[in-house]
């Protein structure tokens, strides 16, 4: 077997492993979706962060994929158009989610503030260097 064939076969095996891993992650999130929805706030936060981390990892891999000359020279235009369409749809959904969630949290925080129901320890923490984005803290600044 030529080196070329071996390289292609190894690449195909790596793709099979990636597909299998992605299918396993999809199955896990699908299987645990309802359970997480019914769990406590911390569990929901932890699982949402796990999902975000996997989304980021997948997007990074996809970005790397689209920079690989082996892929870009062999990908049919129809496949690239499909990826483009799906990417824009995902972007629009993420932006809608962010706008909706941020707007809701802003309104909730304003309401709780007016009612004097915000945690004073957390408020005090927010007044430190973190609120000026000098350390850790919310990264939404304009």
Q: What ranges do the domains of the chain cover?
A: 1-75, 76-142
What is the sign, positive or negative, of the torsion defined by CA atoms of 48, 106, 122, 116? Answer: negative
Which residues contact residue 25 at a Cβ distance below 8 angstroms, ignoring those fewer than 6 apart?
54
Mean predicted confidence (pLDDT) in 87-105: 98
DSSP class of 66:
T
What Cα–Cα distance (Å) separates residue 40 from each residue in 23, 37, 140? 27, 8, 26
The whole-number pLDDT of residue 121 equals: 87
3-state secondary structure at position 106: helix
**CB distance 36 to 43 below 8 Å:** yes
By the 10 Å C-beta count (0-12 exposed, 13-18 middle, 19+ buried), 131 is classed as middle
Lowest mean pLDDT among 28-37, 65-74, 133-142: 133-142
Structure tokens at 16: 């099979």
The whole-number pLDDT of residue 31 equals: 98
Mean predicted confidence (pLDDT) in 35-60: 98
Share of the chain above pLDDT 90, in %: 82
Q: What band does 123 get if pLDDT is binned at 50, 70 and 90?
A: confident
The predicted-structure confidence for 6-17, as pLDDT tens digits, reads as follows 999 999 999 999
- Average per-residue pLDDT in the chain? 91
């Amino acid at each position: 077997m030529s080196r070329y064939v071996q390289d292609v076969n190894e690449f195909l095996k790596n793709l099979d492993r990636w597909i299998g891993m992605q299918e396993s992650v999809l199955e896990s999130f699908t299987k645990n979706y309802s359970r997480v929805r019914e769990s406590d706030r911390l569990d929901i936060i932890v699982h949402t962060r796990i999902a975000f981390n996997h989304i980021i990892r997948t997007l990074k891999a996809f970005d790397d994929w689209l920079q690989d000359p082996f892929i870009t020279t062999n990908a049919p235009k129809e496949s690239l158009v499909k990826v483009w369409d799906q990417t824009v749809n995902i972007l629009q959904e993420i932006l809608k989610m962010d706008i909706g969630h941020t707007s809701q949290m802003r309104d909730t925080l304003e309401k709780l503030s007016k009612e004097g129901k915000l945690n004073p320890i957390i408020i005090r923490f927010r007044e430190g260097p973190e609120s000026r984005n000098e350390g850790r803290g919310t990264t939404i600044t304009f």
